[in-house]
Amino acid sequence: MTIEIKEVNSKKELKRFIKFPFELYKDNPYYVTPLIEFEMSTLLKEKNPAFDHAEAQYWVAEKDGKIVGRIAAIVLEKELKKKSLARFGWIDFINDKEVSHLLLETAKKWAKGKGAKAIHGPMGFTDLDFEGALIQGFNQIATQATIYNHSYYIDHFRAWNMEIAATWVELRGKAPEKNPEKVSRAVRIIEERFKVKVKEFKNTKEILKYAPGVFEVLNEAYSDLYGYIPLTQKQIDYYVEQYFGFIRKEFVCIIVNEADKVVGFALTLPSLSKAFQKAKGSLYPFGFIHVLKSFYFNDTADLFLIGVKPEYQKLGIHALIFDYLQKVYEKKGIKYMASGPMLENNSNVLNTWSEFDLDIGKIKRSCFIKHF
pLDDT value, residue 183: 74
pLDDT at 178: 81
Instruction: With a cut of 90, say whether residue 32 has pLDDT above it.
Output: yes
Q: How far apart are CA 93 and CA 70, in angstroms?
A: 6
Does residue 1 surpass a pLDDT of 80?
A: no
Question: What is the arithmetic mean of pLDDT over 12-38?
Answer: 97
Q: Is the predicted pLDDT of residue 348 greater than 90, yes or no?
A: no
pLDDT in tens, 293-318: 998 999 999 999 999 999 999 898 98
Percent of the chain whose pLDDT exceeds 70: 99
Report the mean per-residue pLDDT for the chain.
93
- Distance (Å, whole) CA 45 – CA 32: 25
Does residue 9 surpass a pLDDT of 80? yes
Give the global pTM.
0.94
Gap between the Cα atoms of 147 and 39, Å rounded: 13
Is pLDDT above 90 for 282? yes
The reported pLDDT for the residue numbered 361 is 74
In terms of average pLDDT, the best of 146-150, 181-185, 240-244, 311-315 is: 146-150
User: Per-residue pLDDT tens for 253-279?
Assistant: 999 999 999 999 999 999 999 999 999
pLDDT score, position 302: 95
Domains observed in the chain: 4-171 (3.40.630.30), 173-358 (3.40.630.30)
Closest residue by Cα to residue 318 from 256, 255, 257:
255
pLDDT at 298: 95
| Residues 6 or more apart in contact with residue 245 via CB below 8 angstroms | none
Phi and psi dihedrals of 61, rounded to 5?
-105, 130
The Cβ of residue 82 has, within 10 Å, a number of other Cβ atoms equal to: 10
**324-330 contacts: CB < 8 A, separation 24 or more?**
324/198, 324/253, 324/266, 325/253, 325/266, 325/268, 325/301, 326/175, 326/176, 326/178, 326/179, 328/250, 328/251, 328/253, 329/175, 329/176, 329/301, 330/175, 330/177, 330/178
User: Comparing 42-46, 119-123, 169-173, which segment has the lowest mean pLDDT?
Assistant: 169-173
User: According to the model, what pLDDT value does residue 25 have?
Assistant: 97
CA distances from 26 to 62, 156, 276 (A): 19, 21, 13
Rounded to whole angstroms, the Cα distance separating 122 from 154 reads 11
Are 126 and 231 in contact, with CB atoms under 8 Å apart?
Answer: yes
Confidence of residue 212 (pLDDT cuts 50, 70, 90): very high
pLDDT at 182: 73
pLDDT tens digit string along 133-143?
999 999 999 99
What pLDDT digit, counting tens, does each position of 46-94 carry? 999 999 999 999 999 999 999 999 999 999 999 999 999 999 999 999 9
What confidence tier does 325 reach under pLDDT thresholds 50, 70, 90? Answer: very high
- In terms of Cβ atoms closer than 10 Å to its own Cβ (0-12, 13-18, 19+), residue 193 is exposed
Could you give the dihedral angle defined by the CA atoms of residues 161, 101, 111 and 371, in that order, rounded to the nearest 10 degrees? Answer: 10
Higher pLDDT, 343 or 348: 343
